[in-house]
Chains A and B, each alone.
Chain A
């Protein structure tokens, strides 16, 4: 009975994923993408969504870069999860990123599973999903693909590029590699390089996936079973790092699911139940191989690497306005990481603003309604718009 149930469930999921392509608003490509690792990815497509309208000067475009498990559905109803977009509260008409005023673009990252070419895409040479044959790619490769999209939209200079966490890495990469293509950049809760601790957490997540027997060396796409448990555990671990000790305590404390203990290993505590739910709901919307590849791209990220560790050299041509934001309780991307970027930018006399926002909500603060954060974003964006004459 249970097996039948799972079979049906899997089939429904597959059907759902097949429908994803229809639900994605826009696709650019295919193009040939040269990767930092030396390989060339043929037939690369990028899925993206836009809101608002590009003005005649093409000066009002904002590129929003999503984080590790985010997607291009920033605002409005996400057609896959049926939930609100992940930055719904600040992107929309008369919101901070005002869609009446700006042309907002958000694309699914390279290697993602929401329409952009990734490990779950069909490798046309072999007529089967790439799986582990997908080449390793980097944050810069993601940005290069975005650049091709921006070129295709004939936008010479983005008014702003903004993102939190891995999205912040992309915002930094834009400011470093394509400084003339951005008027302003807003890297939030991020770093110029992935720290040892962050690589360590990612490695545990990847091992959880790869040690799931259903992972099958990444060739699970046409199989009945998928590495659901591995991906779910990876998400549970990651989710702990997105919150803070204080946030967990405040949200759950030692609250129980029921009044009596199970005297076993059921989810007695609400925090356990919450994490299990986070893990299970994640596997419905995310591809395990994408998770492996994208976490790897974050691990490989180090803006100073090409400059013998001199981060300021990475920003030597950066003339755009930059706003860097960190959060006090973010232990995944602590303020010290942001400060290192600020120092490097000061060395090049760049136009930079930095603030450490007080929040007890951990790394996830950038996705949540933190009043001070919103006020700063709003002030920065409207100030920059005033200066650019938008």
Chain B
């Protein structure tokens, strides 16, 4: 459900034949979908050998690499769109990764799990445990998500870096809708993830 919604939204944000980089592309599902539906010229980066293997086996161009290290190799504005779907929180230097993304991509689509989502807050408040859900499925000791944040935290970081958010979307798990005030209290509470479109021409 979540994945399908996400896929549909990201797909709607990408123009046909675009040159797209998917950072942390996993098994290449999204790139594969975009190649089929949008005829994109796709490239992926994935840290796990299993993900790379599955992606390349689908005929995708994917390198085994690390978002923290390997983005610096790409020249400015290489890609029409750079996608970072549920990966920023797993990087060592999220701020630097974001800056690099905006350097190499004309448009960036970022989604992050929102730690401010009401169910997560409930788990913390009533059970006193780190939230475990479908999107954040690993316990604290084995999770790769080392830099979790809320929608509000993310927007604050963007503001501090003078990065404007072009568009933002709310995912309530049942639907994804565009929001006009992404930094509102309600958005931070009701959205299981934050989805943002940033572009580098407004810096």
Q: For the complex formed, measure the closest distance between the CB of A1 and the CB atoms of chain B, giving whole angstroms.
A: 58
B57 at interface by CB-CB < 8 Å: yes
Complex CA gap A387/B59 in Å reads: 9
Closest residue on chain A to residue B63 by CB atoms: A354
Chain A contacts for B43, CB-based, 8 A: 351-352
Complex CA gap A349/B63 in Å reads: 12
A321 at interface by CB-CB < 8 Å: yes
A384 engages B70 (CB within 8 Å): no
B59 engages A349 (CB within 8 Å): no
Say which size band chain A's interface belongs to: 20 to 34
Chain A contacts for B61, CB-based, 8 A: 321, 351-353
Complex CA gap A352/B60 in Å reads: 9
We find that the number of chain B residues with CB closer than 8 angstroms to chain A is: 22
A355 engages B53 (CB within 8 Å): yes
Chain A contacts for B64, CB-based, 8 A: 354-356
Residue from A323, A357, A375, A379 having most chain B Cβ neighbours under 10 A: A379
Complex CA gap A379/B55 in Å reads: 9
Closest residue on chain A to residue B42 by CB atoms: A351
B23-59 interface mask toward A, CB cutoff 8 Å, 1 = contact, 0 = none?
A: 0000000000000000001010000010011011111
Main secondary structure of the interface of B (DSSP, over half): mixed
Q: For the complex formed, measure the closest distance between the CB of B94 and the CB atoms of chain A, giving whole angstroms.
A: 21
Chain B contacts for A67, CB-based, 8 A: none
B4 at interface by CB-CB < 8 Å: no
Q: For the complex formed, measure the closest distance between the CB of A8 and the CB atoms of chain B, giving whole angstroms.
A: 53
Known: A351-B43, A353-B63, A355-B64. A346 touches B73 (CB 8 A): yes
Q: For the complex formed, measure the closest distance between the CB of A358 and the CB atoms of chain B, giving whole angstroms.
A: 6
Residue from B41, B43, B62, B63 having most chain A Cβ neighbours under 10 A: B63
Chain A contacts for B74, CB-based, 8 A: 346-347, 349
B56 engages A380 (CB within 8 Å): yes
B75 at interface by CB-CB < 8 Å: yes
A354 engages B65 (CB within 8 Å): yes
A386 at interface by CB-CB < 8 Å: yes
Complex CA gap A386/B57 in Å reads: 12
Q: Specify which of B49, B55, B65, B75 is in contact with A342 (CB 8 Å cutoff).
A: B65
B73 engages A376 (CB within 8 Å): no
Closest residue on chain A to residue B77 by CB atoms: A349
A343 at interface by CB-CB < 8 Å: yes
Known: A346-B74, A347-B75. A356 touches B56 (CB 8 A): no
A378 at interface by CB-CB < 8 Å: yes
A315-351 interface mask toward B, CB cutoff 8 Å, 1 = contact, 0 = none?
A: 0000001010000000000000000001100111101
Chain A contacts for B63, CB-based, 8 A: 342, 346, 352-355
Complex CA gap A356/B73 in Å reads: 18
Which A108-156 residues sit within 8 Å CB-CB of chain B? none
Interface residues of B (CB under 8 A from A): 19, 41, 43, 49, 52-53, 55-65, 70, 73-75, 78
19 contacts between A and B (CB under 8 A): A343-B70, A346-B70, A347-B73, A347-B74, A349-B74, A349-B75, A349-B78, A352-B63, A353-B63, A354-B65, A358-B49, A372-B49, A379-B59, A380-B56, A382-B59, A383-B56, A383-B58, A384-B59, A387-B59
Interface residues of A (CB under 8 A from B): 321, 323, 342-343, 346-349, 351-358, 372, 375-376, 378-380, 382-384, 386-387
